[in-house]
Structure 1
């Protein structure tokens, strides 16, 4: 089985789709898959190092912008597939060639473009809804990261359930694990929080992450504490225009409270950040999977999240749950802060549950989707 994986959709900041591709490729190689990876020039050295056994094809630098990449995908990608004699094409981020000339497997990461369109920009929602419909209509097999995503795609788009394959993401425990006090202290110093406890958040500051409600809830939960934990909102600035004014309002009303927005944290700092948080709060309005929750669990963090869409599939009984409204977030956050014994139980349970999510298992699930796609084509 010779698989061509199109990694050209990976963004320069290597967000969620980049993390997925970077972890999946070595796991597929460990399963003995004959891999060809096509990528943008900036990613060639990284992917060659990640998967030495793979053939790396470098696309033109002119596809850095999305419109050019989408045109390239329709015309040049099928040619590459023929040239490398691929048996199957894996398109790992919604879109695919309309006339590929070989079976295609498409990964659909998220269905909130249908279930929660108001949480995305209008252009983005329209684009990904259209791409999802095309993939469901044309792909030989579809991969989703959770049962919730598969159910939502089926509910909104339809399609043959036999072509839907759930492949849970994994967590790299060589990176994401409990770290020692020194590493936690190093990261805390870099955030200006030496010797101070904090509530953490990790993710893009976009509307579906529900960050303004978290900021208000945190202030409500800790405002009367003599040594209130800070709030650290780690992640890239998204298009949620309410985050900045909400933070400004809370700072004005509660000058003794500390909120930090450090932006992206270096990957090597994430274990220290997650391990060092008193609570990792992730009150999302809906996720296709929820990788920050899983990575926090692997680091022994006490996670507070919601029961929306896929999140209970990840957290199970090893996390605490709240609603999506300010009052519920504040109530459950304060309950955790007041109960050290419960936090200890959740931290231990989180590490144990996270160990069940591994990228080798994800690769085996992808391999089953590839085999099903080839059988369908036959």
Structure 2
């Protein structure tokens, strides 16, 4: 029997691991039915996912659910469980013969200043245990695979590269694009503004983006930042408080999906200057909406954006040139849109699920 940690499945506002679980688990259930292999989906709360071969099992508990409550359950069921799959980064203390875990990134090693010492300690402990005790580690990018080798000396044979998927049709069906008049609220003109969606924090290099944008020629384009404040926001808030920033930059705060993706659909360019990414789904979302992308080369972003993005380096001059370049009549907008469409076709949740399933079985 295969047990899957389903604790991250079904979240209403999914990010990162939750998105991975939401797309992957139903496809693993379908493969269990196809191959007649029983599954148990383990979680602290009831989950709306089941089939003839997939049985949801509620394991009550709140604090340290994986380390305590899941471990106790696996100990009790140790004679029945053959394989455990954990889609996030924390292995329980009790493991069956085969345990597979997905590690999405090691951002806490690349950008330690963005994490508290307590967070770094827990993440380091989890990664070290995974390298030592997991039968196989799924890496969602080559960047993560290399980091596991570099920082933890993980043997190559234990690592399996399985990129995340992307489903353009499902993505486009997940929200409703507002009419163009929706932009009037912020005084925006379609295709005449740069957009960033994500946490407004130092790890995402937002201060760098704001400084660079304010040094570009004022051609009427705006910079729109969508997202909640994060680590390092006070410095960013100071930059946004200048008279010129108040005139040229809009910080909307958090927006629901319909509003955020409507802004993306009408954007001139999506800008993603992150200092590190384990993957980079927002890049694929922009390309799915036919919006050109400017991004950094940090972490896995070159793997994900491919040849369909304009890449900045770490200097403000580089970003300034790119931001000014996309505003000119010579910018090959349609070429980048076409390249983006080709690029997202490289990513498939069905292929991702099939490769994960083959790792489990």
TM-score (norm 2): 0.87
Change (3 A) 1:364 1:72: same
Summarize deviations over 1:24-53 as a string: whole Å, max 9, x none: 112223434643222232x623x45xx796
**Secondary structure of 2:241 counterpart:** helix
Alignment partner of 2:73 out of 76, 82, 101: 76
Matched, 1:216 2:211: yes
Mapped partners of 2:320, 2:174: distance in 1: 28
Which structure shows the bigger proportion of residues in helix conformation? Answer: 1
Mapped partners of 1:269, 1:53: distance in 2: 39
Quote the residue 1:375 is aligned against: none
Change (3 A) 1:7 1:270: farther
Worse-matched range after superposition: 237-246 or 27-36: 27-36
Change (3 A) 1:82 1:347: same
State the Cα distance separating 1:233 from its structure 2 match: 1.9
- Correspondences of 1:249-328 after superposition (within 5 Å): 249=242, 252-266=243-257, 268-328=258-318
Matched, 1:120 2:115: yes
Mapped partners of 2:93, 2:175: distance in 1: 51
- Correspondences of 1:343-362 after superposition (within 5 Å): 343-362=333-352
Change (3 A) 1:102 1:207: farther
State the Cα distance separating 1:107 from its structure 2 match: 0.7
- Correspondences of 1:82-93 after superposition (within 5 Å): 82=78, 85-93=80-88
Quote the residue 2:14 is aligned against: 14
1:208–1:284 contact (8 Å) kept in structure 2: yes
Q: What count of residue pairs does the alignment treat as equivalent? A: 354
By relative contact order (CA 8 Å, sep 6+), the higher-ranking structure is 1
**Secondary structure of 1:8 counterpart:** coil
Summarize deviations over 1:302-334 as a string: whole Å, max 9, x none: 111111221110111111100133332222111
Mapped partners of 2:226, 2:74: distance in 1: 36
Change (3 A) 1:202 1:180: closer
Worse-matched range after superposition: 95-104 or 354-363: 95-104
**Secondary structure of 1:31 counterpart:** helix
Mapped partners of 1:285, 1:134: distance in 2: 26
State the Cα distance separating 1:260 from its structure 2 match: 2.2
Change (3 A) 1:234 1:17: same
TM-score (norm 1): 0.84
State the Cα distance separating 1:345 from its structure 2 match: 0.8
Quote the residue 1:103 is aligned against: 98
1:283–1:324 contact (8 Å) kept in structure 2: no
Matched, 1:245 2:238: yes
Change (3 A) 1:340 1:348: farther
Mapped partners of 2:47, 2:187: distance in 1: 37
Mapped partners of 1:358, 1:186: distance in 2: 34
State the Cα distance separating 1:259 from its structure 2 match: 1.1
Alignment partner of 1:192 out of 186, 202, 212: 186
Structure 2 residue runs without a partner (length 5+): none
Quote the residue 2:2 is aligned against: 3
Mapped partners of 1:201, 1:185: distance in 2: 19
Mapped partners of 1:320, 1:369: distance in 2: 35
State the Cα distance separating 1:336 from its structure 2 match: 1.4
Matched, 1:44 2:36: no
Matched, 1:149 2:144: yes
**Secondary structure of 1:348 counterpart:** helix
Summarize deviations over 1:273-321 as a string: whole Å, max 9, x none: 3322111100111111111112222221211111122111011111110
Mapped partners of 1:5, 1:361: distance in 2: 19
